[in-house]
Amino acid sequence: MVEVGRRRRRRRGRRRIRKLAEGERRRLGWGGGGGEGGGKSEPGGVAPASSNFQALPGGWGRGGAGACSGRIQDQMAKWGEGDPRWIVEERADATNVNNWHWTERDASNWSTDKLKSLFLAIQVQGEEGNCEVTEVSKLDGEASINNRKGKLIFFYEWTIKLNWTGTSKSGVKYKGHVEIPNLSDENDVSEVEVSVSLAKDEPDTTLLALMKKEGVTKIRGAVETYIRTLKTEFTQGMILPTLNGETVDPAPQLPVKAEESKVKSGTLASQPKTVGVKIPTCKIVLKDTFLTSPEELFRVFVTQEMVQAFTHASAVLEADKGGKFHLLDGNVTGEFLDLVPENKIVMKWRFKSWPDGHFATITLTFIDKDGETELLMEGKGIPSPEEERTRQGWQRYYFESIKQTFGYGARLF
């Protein structure tokens, strides 16, 4: 009864959030009609204005993070001159300009199919025999994703029952059940309760211990995969693309003098690349808090699909010691020097416009703070002229973008 009451309270809370969002849309005239932005919902009818339309040079991303200074402004920022959360872009379908409106996507049917496919693929084997999940007998609940101001907020709550069959080395079959009563966005994967038992009238067997140990591990892995894919695969399209899918051109490269070109082409094959003039460097330190576990935040930085999600650009990475990475369409490159799961990432890191061959050393430290994660970023060897741009780039296009994409900065009261 306590669990039922808790679920009812959560559902009432979600309905209250949706009603507040709908009321906000009507008040501002964003799709409800009759609002202050006019009788129709059209791009540019009512939109927040920014006090800062200055974009960072060098191709870091798509502009700065302005502050809301008014609801109506005669001249909106031109494309490419500011933070995309504030710029009203043209869209051929006139749909949810800049993802400013509250939108919701029901993920229940997708989640049902995904969870069934993951659970039914579970098999474990040991000296006692082997076990496998044969049926998903109960899968009650719901899942949804909300987008507000380009920030994704995830809701999911499931009650699950599975049937499993074990076969001993002698060929004797046993049947049992698995119950997962509390799979929800409120709990970390490690906190999800997984109860394994034998079916009624089944005799004791060592296969039960195998299923409780190895089986539960694989079940938690399936749950973890579901949550990760929910936040990556199913969210595709929630953050709407810009006009014609255009992106900001990377920073133009300085032309190479003819004499320098000849020297390089003449010596490249015969001599190793030598170190050039020593450049002045500096150190930067950033700290921020994310509403997720160190394990989940660590995975954001080392999973290619999740990196592509928060950078909104192509990315290639090998999440191993010595593995290379190319982010933001090649504007950021580097190499992983050390990876300590849930604890630390050390990497060589450079921006495309930096002097050839120069890398900074970036250390990310993940600190558990009672269910939240404090992320400490320390960068050594940053070219001194690039200090401020690098600091702002990490804050906006790593920290803030991760919070907006995965909802790690959203607090719901």
Per-residue pLDDT of 186-200, as tens digits, reads 888 888 899 999 998
- Which carries the bigger pLDDT value, residue 411 or residue 219? 219
With beta carbons less than 8 A apart as the criterion, state whether 81 and 56 touch.
Answer: no
pLDDT of residue 46: 37
pLDDT of residue 94: 46
Distance from C-alpha of 296 to C-alpha of 232, rounded to nearest angstrom: 13
Amino acid at residue number 293: S
Of 196, 198, 159, 209, which Cα lies nearest the Cα of 180?
159
CA 188 to chain centre: 16
Distance from C-alpha of 255 to C-alpha of 273, rounded to nearest angstrom: 20
Q: Which residue has the tokens 């060897």?
A: 381
For residue 292, what are its two tokens?
Answer: 């997720």
Q: Nearest 5°: CA angle at 231, between 288 and 20? A: 80
Distance from C-alpha of 49 to C-alpha of 70, rounded to nearest angstrom: 5
Query: What 3-state class would DSSP assign to 144?
Result: strand
Q: Which residue has the tokens 């994660």?
A: 373
DSSP letter for 62, please: S
57: alpha, beta or left, given left = phi > 0 and alpha = psi -120 to 50? beta
Q: Classify strands 173-184 and 195-198 as parallel, antiparallel or unpaired.
A: antiparallel
Distance from C-alpha of 175 to C-alpha of 134, rounded to nearest angstrom: 10
pLDDT of residue 90: 43
CA 405 to chain centre: 5
- State the average pLDDT over residues 318-324: 92
pLDDT of residue 411: 55
With beta carbons less than 8 A apart as the criterion, state whether 222 and 119 touch.
Answer: yes
pLDDT of residue 11: 65
Q: Could you tell me the pLDDT band of residue 247, with boundaries at 50, 70 and 90?
A: very low
With beta carbons less than 8 A apart as the criterion, state whether 87 and 100 touch.
Answer: no
CB-CB neighbours of 71 under 10 Å? 13
Of the given ranges (1-10, 337-346, 351-360), which has the lowest mean pLDDT? Answer: 1-10
Of the given ranges (64-78, 89-103, 156-170, 213-227), which has the lowest mean pLDDT? Answer: 64-78
With beta carbons less than 8 A apart as the criterion, state whether 110 and 251 touch.
Answer: no
Q: Which residue has the tokens 């500096």?
A: 282
pLDDT of residue 158: 93
Query: What 3-state class would DSSP assign to 398?
Result: helix
- State the average pLDDT over residues 268-280: 54
pTM of the model: 0.42
CA 152 to chain centre: 9
With beta carbons less than 8 A apart as the criterion, state whether 207 and 174 touch.
Answer: yes
Q: What percent of the chain has pLDDT over 90?
A: 39
pLDDT of residue 105: 80
DSSP for 176-194, please give it: EEEEEEEEETTS-GGG---
Q: Which residue has the tokens 């300009």?
A: 97
